[in-house]
Amino acid sequence: MIEEPGKTEAADAGEKPQKALTPEAQRALAEAEARRQKYRAAEAQLPKEIGGRGGKEPGRYGDWEVKGLASDF
């Protein structure tokens, strides 16, 4: 098996350990992850659009963009 040249023990030894997060920061990260999972679950429940534009709903922020030109509505 060939080892990757960038993955060496010397490179790992030179890395600084990450700072410990405060309980508030850990809670905020956990809340953000919960929101992302809830959003992804809700998005998965939406019906698939047939023949529409690719990507996310363009009106989700209250404006519409076509070819780089945005209009508010």
What are 31-68's pLDDT values in tens digits? 999 999 999 999 899 888 777 666 666 666 666 766 76
Q: Is residue 64 assigned to a domain?
A: no
Q: Is residue 6 assigned to a domain?
A: no
**pTM exceeds 0.95, yes or no:** no
Burial 39-61 (b: 16+ CB within 10 A, else e): eeeeeeeeeeeeeeeeeeeeeee
Q: Is residue 10 assigned to a domain?
A: no
Helices H, strands E: what count in the chain? 2, 2
Domain count for the chain, please give it.
Answer: 1
